[in-house]
Amino acid sequence: MAYLYLVAGIILLLFGGDFIVKGSVDLALRMRVSILVIGMTVVSFATSAPELLVSLDAAMDGYTDISFGNVIGSNIANISLILGLTALIVPLSVQTKTYKLDWWVMMGVTLLLFLFLYFDHILGRTEAVIMIVGLLAYNIMQIRTSRKSDANSDVDVSTLRKPWLTILFLLLGVAGLKFGAEFLIDGSVVLAREWGVSERVIGITVVSVGTSLPELAASLVAAFRGEPDLSVGNLIGSNVFNVLAVLGISGLIVDIPLNNEALLTFDFPWLFGISLLLYPMMRFITRSMITRWEGLIMFLAYLAYLGGVFFN
């Protein structure tokens, strides 16, 4: 039954995330927001919804290491596994703003989370409020920048889905994410006990990859459709959202203690290292482009991380 719950949860999260993405992008285009900002905000929020539901559900049930492992593991997967696989298929161009501003924001919020957990090993409501305020400020800045550029002013609203269909997609997405999160957590906890591994290991492997499937789908589709900025912007924006919103919202509802020290001593250094590796690839080595060989390096980095998780 554990495997059945696990598979059902991942499938529901995948379909729920897909419906959320479609509905959210339709709404954003109606509001005439630029493609890049859609990637950094709307799609990032939508594709990170599985992480939010799973982490919140896990925290409220007392499985806090799954909450942290899910977010940290998802962020590592986003910029190594998913970005690597996407670049292997289609080389990705990178906007100047992505490495001059957004990457720095991603690194800043990652460091912020590390410091919050390092000193008292708990994410409380005060820290959660700081994270939510940071998220709001960042996204207000993104939207204002987009509005000033008058991007997507030529979008023909008549070509978009009917409003009722957009709403239906959003409702189906929310339902899929809700039940998918519950199934995934239930299956993961039982699986951890059967395998004799910690909640952290399950959180940063099975759960994080399962909740990252919408990001993988959105990035691959964006790349195939000739919108590589959406792929890179989606993943960096998703990492910012995972830290500030997923853990921020969860922390507002319930204090989240960190129980497994390996999250600080092993997983965070890997997250920082892979994030640092991405920067010169975007800015210096191939200049505003992530090529196939760079994608291969990122993918191999993820495999090395997984090896360390199970043999650490």
In a domain, 13, yes or no: no
**CA angle at 295 for the pair 303 and 240, rounded to the nearest 5°:** 80
Phi, psi angle pair for 90, to nearest 5°: -135, 115
pLDDT band at 150 (very low <50, low <70, confident <90, very high): very low
- Report the pLDDT value the prediction gives residue 126, as an integer from 0 to 100: 95
In a domain, 6, yes or no: no
- The number of folded domains in the chain is 1
In a domain, 119, yes or no: yes
In a domain, 180, yes or no: no
Domain of 112, CATH number, reads 1.20.1420.30
Please name the helix (run of DSSP H) or strand (run of DSSP E) that holds residue 288, with its range, or none: none
Residue 289's DSSP bridge partners are: 93
Q: What is the spatial distance between Cα 56 and Cα 227, in angstroms, rounded to a whole number?
A: 32
Q: Which residue has the higher pLDDT, 287 or 303?
A: 303
Specify the 3-state DSSP secondary structure of 38: helix
DSSP 159: G
Residue written as token pair 């995972």: 242
Q: Is the pLDDT of residue 231 over 90?
A: no
Q: Is the pLDDT of residue 211 over 90?
A: no
Q: What confidence tens digit (pLDDT) does each residue in 43-52 have?
A: 667 767 788 8
What percentage of the chain reaches a pLDDT higher than 90?
39
In a domain, 22, yes or no: no
Sign of CA dihedral 120, 73, 194, 180: positive
In a domain, 279, yes or no: yes
Q: Is the pLDDT of residue 152 over 50?
A: no
- Give the strand pairing for 289-290 and 92-93: antiparallel
- Report the pLDDT value the prediction gives residue 147, as an integer from 0 to 100: 59
Averaged pLDDT, 274-289 = 87
In a domain, 254, yes or no: yes
- Report the pLDDT value the prediction gives residue 145, as an integer from 0 to 100: 66
Domain range for 48 is 34-153+198-311
In a domain, 14, yes or no: no
- Report the pLDDT value the prediction gives residue 80, as an integer from 0 to 100: 95
Q: Which residue has the higher pLDDT, 250 or 31?
A: 250
Write the CB contacts of 205 (distance below 8 Å, at least 6 apart in sequence). 73, 306, 309
Averaged pLDDT, 244-263 = 94
Among residues 241, 207, 224, 25, the alpha carbon closest in space to that of 131 is found at 241
Q: What is the spatial distance between Cα 68 and Cα 71, in angstroms, rounded to a whole number?
A: 5
Task: Count CB-CB contacts under 10 A for residue 6.
Answer: 22
Give the amino acid at 216.
Answer: L
